[in-house]
Amino acid sequence: MKKLLLFPLFAMLALLSACSSDDDDKQVFEPAVTEAVYKGDLQLGETTFTVKCEYKYNTESNSCDIILKGVTFAAAMPKMDIILENVPCNLKEGMVEFLGRDLTPVMSMGGMSLPAEDYKIEQLQGNATASSMHLKAIMAMGELVFDGALSSGDDEESEEGSAEGEFSGAMTVLAAGSEVPFVNEAVRCELLPNEDFTAVDLCIYSARFAENMPVTVDIKLEAIPCEVLDGEIHFACEETFVPLVRMGEEFIPMEAFAFYYIAGICDGESLAFEADMTRGEFVFAGVKGK
């Protein structure tokens, strides 16, 4: 009888020992990389261009934030940043794997950041290491693939921004008291930084702020504070200021066109900004040389 009782006891001890051994075999990995900037090729269909990708691992949620910078989906489309937040991660030896489904990215352009349902990502997968990143996203418009290497100080863009030339594009206006936006397709803008790139003058040519506005106007906004980040000029002002409006051959102050806010980005190839003024709110997005 004692032997019969001992057999189940030995079997249970053996099982517990095996479970303990399995737990000892499980390894807990530290994230291979917690924060990095990668530079490489981004491919969408037949189009390939060079972008930077910012990555940051979130320890508390075991997730990561990914920002693809300077992305455009068409030649005439201004560049924007694609922001993916809280993407679930899996830690492995030497790498951080990430996998997400049904992600709505945030698109950032010209000082604006908005969720973009039209660019929803059905599936995102990839990995980040101390030296490289691979990312693949399946979207309604196709497959987006990024392969990049850790960006070093040697390949950083010049701290001096580029804004030479005019930018042509569309200005979308929501006039004061109106609920229907008006799109002005033939607007040109010029950004003129000072010598030390601490302020810019912004010229807006052929602007109309309502569909029934009989004439276009040329406006000049002077000394908007700015800074250069990764080769891009970021400018913004949240104080009320009076622009100059062309009258004949001269520009004169015009309080009827007072601005209350403006913010934008220029990367040398595209210009985008938003503004709030007495005539309403408007957004401009344009590219160089069109």
How confident is the model over 21-38, as pLDDT tens digits?
444 455 778 888 999 999
Whether residue 120 is found in the same domain as residue 221? no
Domain endpoint, select from 128, 155, 182: 155
Measured torsion, CA atoms of residues 53, 65, 110, 182, in degrees rounded to the nearest 10: 120
Ramachandran region, residue 17 (left: φ > 0; alpha: ψ -120 to 50; beta: rest) = alpha
Q: How many angstroms separate the CA atoms of 273 and 171, rounded?
A: 10
Q: Which range has the worst mean pLDDT, 68-77, 97-106, 265-274?
A: 68-77
> Which of the two residues, 7 and 90, has the higher pLDDT score?
90
Whether residue 81 is found in the same domain as residue 136? yes
Which has the closest alpha carbon to 243: 198, 213, 275, 197? 275
| Mean pLDDT of all residues in 118-139 | 93
How confident is the model over 152-162, as pLDDT tens digits?
755 544 445 56
Hey, what amino acid is at 181?
P
Mean residue pLDDT of the chain comes to 83
Q: Is residue 110 predicted with pLDDT exceeding 90? A: no
In contact, 232 and 80? CB cutoff 8 Å: no
Whether residue 171 is found in the same domain as residue 146? no
Whether residue 178 is found in the same domain as residue 104? no
Whether residue 144 is found in the same domain as residue 204? no
Whether residue 151 is found in the same domain as residue 172? no
Which has the closest alpha carbon to 252: 220, 279, 276? 220
Q: Buried b vs exposed e over 160-178: b needs ≥16 C-beta within 10 Å?
A: ebbbeeebbbebbbbbeee
Model's pTM, two decimal places? 0.54
| Mean pLDDT of all residues in 134-161 | 77
Domain endpoint, select from 98, 127, 155: 155
Find the domain containing 82 and state its range.
35-155
Residue 90 pLDDT grade (very low, low, confident, very high; cuts 50, 70, 90): very high
Domain count, the chain: 2
* Strands 80-92 and 280-288, sheet pairing: unpaired
Q: Which range has the worst mean pLDDT, 87-91, 159-163, 214-218, 274-278?
A: 159-163
Q: How many angstroms separate the CA atoms of 218 and 238, rounded?
A: 22
- 């160089």: which residue's tokens? 288
Give one DSSP letter per residue of 30-71, joined into a string. Answer: PPS-SEEEEEEEEEETTEEEEEEEEEEEETTTTEEEEEEEEE
Q: How many angstroms separate the CA atoms of 141 and 41, rounded?
A: 18
In contact, 224 and 238? CB cutoff 8 Å: no
Give one DSSP letter per residue of 183-225, joined into a string. Answer: EEEEEEEEEEE-TTSSEEEEEEEEE-SSTT--S-EEEEEEEEE
Residue 78 lies in a domain: yes
Whether residue 220 is found in the same domain as residue 248? yes
pLDDT value for 250: 87
* Strands 47-58 and 166-175, sheet pairing: unpaired
In contact, 202 and 182? CB cutoff 8 Å: no
- 């009320």: which residue's tokens? 240
Whether residue 217 is found in the same domain as residue 186? yes
